[in-house]
Chains A and B, each alone.
Chain A
Amino acid sequence: MMPIVQISNLDKYFGRLHVLRNISIEVAPREVICIIGRSGSGKSTLLRCINFLEEPSFGTIEVDGIKVEAGEKGKGHRQLVHEVRLKTGMVFQEFNLFPHMSVLENVIEGPVTVKGMNRAKAIELAEENLDSVGLLFKKDEYPNRLSGGQKQRVAIARALTMEPRLMLFDEPTSALDPELIGEVLNVMKKVAKEGMTMLVVTHEMGFAREVADRVLVMADGEIIEDAKPSMLFTQPKDARTKALIDRYRTGER
């Protein structure tokens, strides 16, 4: 099957720091990929390069047929980046809901402002997605009245309402109190089950084992292992992967 995401020879420098080294990945439609690794291994940067929150230094990123070369400038490049962003939803560690908008306004903001969608249509779509994350009853609340888990579920609904082809999750449960992690992971499982292509940077090994089709392990800006979770968690090839898994196992909840 044609890959929906194709990352080829991606390099990223922060100043003199070489944070991504010649990364190439293919993601098939409906595939769920978890990216694990110690902090500083480059996993968040990789995710943020896909929708150009970070401009990659070298390489190519192709999302659903839109091919963008890194390091180019100008209007054409900006247009391609914009198209990639339209096909890509993102969920952040810190939720980043807009505090001056109600839950519903947060969710319709993208479709209305970016796509120029008719408000009534956007509300219909937004309510559908809020319902699916179980928060329709909070639609008129402001984000500061929600728990962390609820905020993150709204953030997922906000991303889904843009009707993306690909969802990026950047440590979606790392800022949550332990008792709130489950509700967010459950919503993510549901999204996965509905056939969304997902790239998830996470420390939740249970989730990776249960939901991921593939797990990528990153260290020092490189992908050191790429395997099915059943293989990876039982027979890690790289010593660094083994160390990482052991570390989680001993600290497992």
Chain B
Amino acid sequence: MTDSTSARAPKPPLSQADLLYEAQQRRDRRFRTNVSVSWGIMLLILVYLFSGQDFLGIKTIKLDTEFIRNNITFIAGGIGQTFLVSALSITLAMVLALLAALGRLSTIPPIYALSTFYVSLIRGTPLYLQIFFFFLALPQLGIILTGLWAGVLALGLNYGAYMSEIFRAGLASVGKGQREAAIALGMTPRQTMQRVVLPQALRFAIPPIGNDFIAMTKDSALVSATGFVHEVMWRATRVGRAQFNNLEALIMAAVFYWVMTLILTYFQGLLENRLARGDR
């Protein structure tokens, strides 16, 4: 009781709570620093492993640096295509996913069935098969798609089926009370969906959509199998096979994919922070 005035004093000395808090902060900082340092060391070891240097009698792998120099721009030239395929596919996937998720809410049997049928069929077959289906099987029926569109269609349909679960969870995350408040105001079902439910569901879905986009940039490598989309993987296997330098070519491609993923993950983090700052 007598301490209550000192708590309100203008500049109190560091209290025990402050000291404990600072110690905790120091521990957290030290942990993060040590993790970063460890990462650096692991990266150095990995780089060293492919440096061709001898160290204490341990031979490391010697890469063909001339091949790398000659082909790095060719492989890097596929990054644009990789992004293009991923961006087009994720756009298609989001539309399909939203439709499939809304279909799951429908009380009209054929619409509900269509939604579950689509998700079941796509999730029940391999993505690799789906890509070949659009590229190799459809021409037999007279439908000829370019490699790009066959890939986009396959990736979009495939991811749409998986992402419909994200939207479904997003829609489910909006409480019943929200719908009731909208209805009580006199909103129609459509207005309730558009003004109240969807904005909240989409906000919920954005972080997992980001994750799927990152996954998509890597799965887009499968499109190289059609041989007609000149993205990173296609270019890497092409020069690698032609000159028996698959090791160098695939390492280059791996580095590009990794860096792309890191950059996207960084932006994903920024986006999530922004959303977290909002409401709720």
**Interface contact A92-B177, CB-CB below 8 Å:** yes
* B137 in contact (CB, < 8 A): no
* B26 in contact (CB, < 8 A): no
**Interface contact A82-B186, CB-CB below 8 Å:** yes
Given known contacts A94-B177, A109-B195, A114-B191, is B279 in contact with A99 (CB within 8 Å)?
Answer: yes
Which residues of B163-205 are within 8 A (CB) of A?
175, 177-178, 180-188, 191, 195-196, 199-200, 203
Q: Is the interface of B mostly helix, strand, loop or mixed?
A: helix
* A29 in contact (CB, < 8 A): no
Q: Which of A96, A114, A159 contacts B177 (CB 8 A)?
A: A96
Given known contacts A96-B178, A100-B199, A109-B195, is B184 in contact with A51 (CB within 8 Å)?
Answer: yes
Q: Which of A86, A92, A142, A144 contacts B181 (CB 8 A)?
A: A92
* A88 in contact (CB, < 8 A): yes
* B278 in contact (CB, < 8 A): yes
Bound form: Cα–Cα A90–B181 in Å: 8
Minimal beta-carbon separation of A161 from chain B (angstroms): 9
Q: Which of B175, B178, B184 contacts A53 (CB 8 A)?
A: B184
Q: Which of B178, B184, B195 contacts A85 (CB 8 A)?
A: B184
* A110 in contact (CB, < 8 A): yes
Residues of B within 8 A of A99 (CB): 200, 279-280
Q: Which of B180, B187, B200, B279 contacts A114 (CB 8 A)?
A: B187
Closest to A102 in B: B279
Bound form: Cα–Cα A115–B186 in Å: 9
| Among A88, A94, A113, A144: residue with most chain B CB under 10 A | A113
Minimal beta-carbon separation of A13 from chain B (angstroms): 20
Q: Is the interface of A mostly helix, strand, loop or mixed?
A: mixed
Closest to A99 in B: B279
Q: Which of B180, B187, B188, B280 contacts A96 (CB 8 A)?
A: B180
Minimal beta-carbon separation of B107 from chain A (angstroms): 13
Q: Mark interface residues in A33-58 (1 if CB within 8 Å of B CB, else 0).
A: 00000000000000000010100000
**Interface contact A100-B180, CB-CB below 8 Å:** no
**Interface contact A144-B280, CB-CB below 8 Å:** yes
* A207 in contact (CB, < 8 A): no
Q: Which of A89, A92, A110, A115 contacts B180 (CB 8 A)?
A: A92
* A215 in contact (CB, < 8 A): no
**Interface contact A96-B195, CB-CB below 8 Å:** no
| Among A82, A94, A99: residue with most chain B CB under 10 A | A99
Given known contacts A99-B280, A100-B279, is B186 in contact with A114 (CB within 8 Å)?
Answer: yes
Residues of A within 8 A of B181 (CB): 90, 92, 96-98, 155
Closest to A89 in B: B184
Bound form: Cα–Cα A115–B199 in Å: 21
Minimal beta-carbon separation of A107 from chain B (angstroms): 10
Closest to A52 in B: B183
Minimal beta-carbon separation of B189 from chain A (angstroms): 10
Bound form: Cα–Cα A65–B199 in Å: 36
Closest to B188 in A: A82
**Interface contact A110-B185, CB-CB below 8 Å:** yes
Minimal beta-carbon separation of B7 from chain A (angstroms): 22
Leading 9 A-B pairs by shortest Cβ distance: A96-B181, A110-B185, A90-B184, A96-B177, A114-B186, A142-B279, A99-B279, A85-B186, A144-B279
Could you list some 27 contacts between A and B, CB below 8 A?
A86-B186, A90-B181, A90-B184, A92-B177, A96-B177, A96-B180, A96-B181, A97-B181, A98-B178, A98-B196, A98-B200, A99-B200, A99-B280, A100-B200, A100-B279, A109-B195, A110-B187, A113-B185, A113-B195, A114-B185, A114-B186, A114-B191, A142-B278, A144-B279, A155-B181, A159-B185, A162-B186
Q: A92-B177, A114-B186 are in contact. List 5 more A-B contacts (CB 8 A).
A: A53-B183, A98-B178, A98-B182, A99-B280, A100-B278
